[in-house]
Amino acid sequence: MSLNLLSICWVAVFVLIAIGIVMASRHLRAGRMNSPAIRRFDLEAFVAVLDPEDEAYLKSMLSKPAFLRLKRKRIRVALRYLSRLGANMAGILQIRNTEWGLASENAPFDSAASIASDLASHIRVLCLIAFAKLSLEFLFPARQFSPVELIGDYRSLKGVLAEMQKIAAESDLAAVPVL
């Protein structure tokens, strides 16, 4: 009798695993078929989460255990921001490869698209580095590993995309995402 019960449990486990695999593959396929979603990114909030002066103030006002708890919460929030920023950069790179490639006969737009693509690639690499630094800071909260170098590049990318939006509006070209 216990052999029957054990085999029924194994079959149930395999069925649940199969259902999970099918659901995950459908979710992943649906995500690839849609156009890349560029989601809003609040740069000022991201900068505020990473502000070293704010951190120093909190460190002086809170007890050590309370400060470490709060610092880890702030790092989790910063990691979510980095994840969104990296996903946005991947979306820009995907748009560059698909939609902006059709506008190659417009030289100013193509030049700006190339600059935007380079900046997006660079920011994506910086996101990976910042993710590693913040992960280390999460493990060792007494240390400070600041990922502020990507903020200037992000502002440059916003400027390039704004320029591309003007060119696209004048020439009826492909849509340019707003960051």
Q: What is the pLDDT of residue 101?
A: 64
Q: What is the pLDDT of residue 57?
A: 92
Is the same domain home to 125 and 73?
Answer: yes
Is the same domain home to 30 and 44?
Answer: no
Is the same domain home to 67 and 155?
Answer: yes
Would residue 177 count as lying in a domain?
A: no
Range of the structural domain that residue 102 is part of: 39-171
pLDDT along the chain (179 residues), means of 10: 72 73 59 62 85 88 92 91 87 77 70 81 84 85 70 78 73 62
Contact (CB, 8 A) for 139 and 127? no
Would residue 60 count as lying in a domain?
A: yes
Q: What is the pLDDT of residue 33?
A: 44
Is the same domain home to 24 and 51?
Answer: no
Taking the CA atoms of the chain, what radius of gyration do you get in angstroms?
Answer: 23
Would residue 178 count as lying in a domain?
A: no
Q: What is the pLDDT of residue 62?
A: 92
> Cα separation of 129 and 169, whole Å?
35
Is the same domain home to 49 and 22?
Answer: no
What is the number of structural domains in the chain? 2
Q: What is the pLDDT of residue 31?
A: 47
Is the same domain home to 131 and 87?
Answer: yes
Give a three-class secondary structure readout of the chain.
CHHHHHHHHHHHHHHHHHHHHHHHHHHHHHHHHCCCCCCCCCHHHHHHHCCHHHHHHHHHHCCHHHHHHHHHHHHHHHHHHHHHHHHHHHHHHHHHHHCHHHHCCCHHHHHHHHHHHHHHHHHHHHHHHHHHHHHHHHHCCCCCCCCCHHHHHHHHHHHHHHHHHHHHHHHCCCCCCCC
Is the same domain home to 22 and 52?
Answer: no
Predicted TM-score (pTM) of this structure:
0.69
Q: What is the pLDDT of residue 6?
A: 75
Is the same domain home to 93 and 29?
Answer: no
Q: What pLDDT digit, counting tens, does each position of 115-157 carry?
A: 888 888 888 888 888 888 888 888 888 777 666 566 777 778 7
Q: What is the pLDDT of residue 20?
A: 66
Is the same domain home to 25 and 97?
Answer: no
Q: What is the pLDDT of residue 65?
A: 92
Is the same domain home to 16 and 87?
Answer: no
